[in-house]
Amino acid sequence: MHPSHFAATHPDKPALIFQPSGVDLTFLELEQRVRQAAHLLQKLGVTPGAAVAFCVENSPEFFEIAWGAQRVGAIFTPMSTKLSADDMRYIVEDTGARVFILSAACEGSRHVRTDMFPGVELLAVGGEIDGFAQWKPRRQEMSTRALCSPARGREMMYSSGTTGRPKGVFKSLPGGEFDDPDARAVNFNQNFALNENSVYLSTSPLYHSAPHVLAASALRYGATCIVMEHFDAELALDCIQAFSCTHGVWVPTMFHRMLRLSRDIRDTFDTRSMKYAIHGAAPCPVPVKQGMIDWWGPILHEYYAGTEGIGACMITSEEWLAHKGSVGRATDGEIHILDEHEDEVPTGTTGTVYFKTASKFEYWKAPDKTASSMSKQGWWTYGDIGHVDADGYLYLTDRRDFMIISGGVNIYPQEIENVLLSHPVVADVAVFGLPNDEYGEEVKAVVLPVRAPASYTHRDKLALIEYCRQKLGPIKTPKSIDFVADLPRQPTGKMHKRALRERYLYARAETIEG
């Protein structure tokens, strides 16, 4: 199935409804925009296999660009709207993008310069960006006729590597016709009964892998997509009630925010239309998930997977109630738990989680990182630590590389440490995650300054936080910074970060909130 089919058979059916703005597009209107976008991308020199990068918020433009790039056979990369200008430059250069489309609403757009993107066609969405052409009028000039020779492209999402720089997750172009069935959409249909009578609530930024793939899958099956332009707990509940949403994708932070609403507010909304509340991206605390099941009933479906697509688990509410804390049993691949020597461990023993799977991927231009994700047996890992019980249910217990997950977003400490080390006040630094009731984790930085810690003020710490915000954007900026007289760096040069983090779990040093 493909949304272009529904443009022909159900042209006036709503395909996209954006909230809270109320902007909507029918399947025919979406198809016309996609065709125009595809013609424009071709005019700009995009051919099958060429790269297109875009940094656009949840909006009609996101869909017309993504589907237009897919239609011309491009490898397209949606970027986080929270990226700094330098991260945008890096990804555009790394992909070799022929075209870069940037929304003026993105924070980093204020700091971009055309000389950061030599040889790239630059277009702006939603406002003026110096030196960028305007996407909308250029797109509107194009024909709405079908392409003579459409191809079949696919996304290449970026996720941060252990070095801190984002890395593309590359998979070969699928081949075939542009409207051939997509295996991921077929799985969505089979696992969650998605069809043209469904109403899908898209709650998250579409530049993330799962929200992007699931929204695209819903459109492929002719479902109407209610797209939240930003997440708000009451707005989400209002959307469910107003549009009788049947499916939705969530992260634990969203559950936490909805559960924090007063009982009177929650009881105002009728959520009985929601049949499949699908969640993942970060471990869901047991009390939070139990609270949602108590409220919505046994409609929660949790998945464990990754952008790399080398294995997956799923668990229903009924299964979870019997195996609390589990992320489920394997639905794609076969789980193996390995020790530090990459040998299998007994059932119930903690180790690194690997999947035996036929899926293939590579980190773009990063063969060492690709190799580090594979065991000697040829099995793949997302880098998580966990164990499997006697019934085959997987439980995650830690992150192998101390990745921070805040609000469902993956953050790697090394990049933040590198920025802090570039500041003249900082002699050494360790960055890690600490528990946060709302976001799961928050970014914590512990700095060894060049002078005695007592010689610095709160203003110095605030200046460091602002320095990070300018270099990294708000999402990666430490929530708080401490100055200390010593850091537990081992003789080998490695930071004993686990011990440092455990120390902060029990006793906080002098802290300044950012």
pTM (two decimals): 0.80
Q: Are 165 and 55 in contact (CB under 8 A)?
A: no
pLDDT, residue 340, reads 87
pLDDT, residue 401, reads 67
Superfamily of domain 330-401: Luciferase; Domain 3 (2.30.38.10)
Listed in order, the ranges of the chain carrying CATH 3.40.50.980 are: 21-165
Q: Are 41 and 50 in contact (CB under 8 A)?
A: no
Q: Using alpha carbons, select from 156, 195, 162 the residue that is nearest to residue 403.
A: 162
Residue burial 244-275, b: 16+ Cβ < 10 Å; e: rest: ebbbbbbbbbbbbbbeeeeeeebeebebeebb
**In 195-329, which residue ranges form alpha helices assigned H by DSSP?**
209-220, 233-243, 252-260, 263-267, 286-296, 317-322
Q: What is the Cα Rg of the chain in Å?
A: 23
**In 346-410, which residue ranges form alpha helices assigned H by DSSP?**
367-372
3-state secondary structure of 243: helix
77 beta partners: 53
344 beta partners: 338
Q: Which phi and psi (to 5°) does residue 229 adopt?
A: -75, -25
pLDDT, residue 407, reads 87
Helices 233-243 and 252-260: angle between axes, nearest 10 degrees: 90
201 beta partners: 226, 248
Would the CA dihedral through 385, 389, 391, 393 be positive or negative? negative
Rounded Cα–Cα distance for residues 266 and 252 (Å): 17
Total residue count of the chain as it appears in this document: 514
Listed in order, the ranges of the chain carrying CATH 3.30.300.30 are: 404-513
Q: Using alpha carbons, select from 483, 481, 422 the residue that is nearest to residue 451.
A: 483
Helices vs. strands in the chain: H and E counts, helices first:
16, 28
Would the CA dihedral through 487, 440, 469, 211 be positive or negative? positive
Backbone torsion region of residue 353, taken as left when φ is above 0, otherwise alpha when ψ lies between -120 and 50, otherwise beta: beta
User: CATH for 21-165?
Assistant: 3.40.50.980
Low pLDDT (below 70) residues in the chain: 160-164, 398-401, 490-494, 507-514
User: CATH for 404-513?
Assistant: 3.30.300.30
What are 45-101's pLDDT values in tens digits?
A: 999 999 999 999 999 999 999 999 999 999 999 999 988 999 999 999 999 999 999
Residue 479 has what DSSP assignment? S
Residue 284 has what DSSP assignment? P
Residue 114 has what DSSP assignment? G
Would the CA dihedral through 354, 356, 357, 361 be positive or negative? positive
Q: Using alpha carbons, select from 209, 213, 255 the residue that is nearest to residue 236.
A: 255
Listed in order, the ranges of the chain carrying CATH 2.30.38.10 are: 330-401
Write the DSSP assignment of 97-151 as a string of letters: -SEEEEETTSGGGGG--GGGSTT-EEEEESS--TTPEEHHHHHHTS--SPPSS--
Helices 60-71 and 27-43: angle between axes, nearest 10 degrees: 60
pLDDT, residue 507, reads 59
Q: Using alpha carbons, select from 491, 487, 468 the residue that is nearest to residue 478.
A: 468
Q: Are 37 and 68 in contact (CB under 8 A)?
A: yes
Rounded Cα–Cα distance for residues 438 and 453 (Å): 31
pLDDT, residue 188, reads 86
Q: Are 403 and 412 in contact (CB under 8 A)?
A: yes
Distance of CA 273 to the CA centre of its chain: 26
The most distant pair of C-alpha atoms in the chain lies apart, rounded to whole Å, by: 72
Would the CA dihedral through 308, 311, 316, 320 be positive or negative? negative
pLDDT, residue 465, reads 97
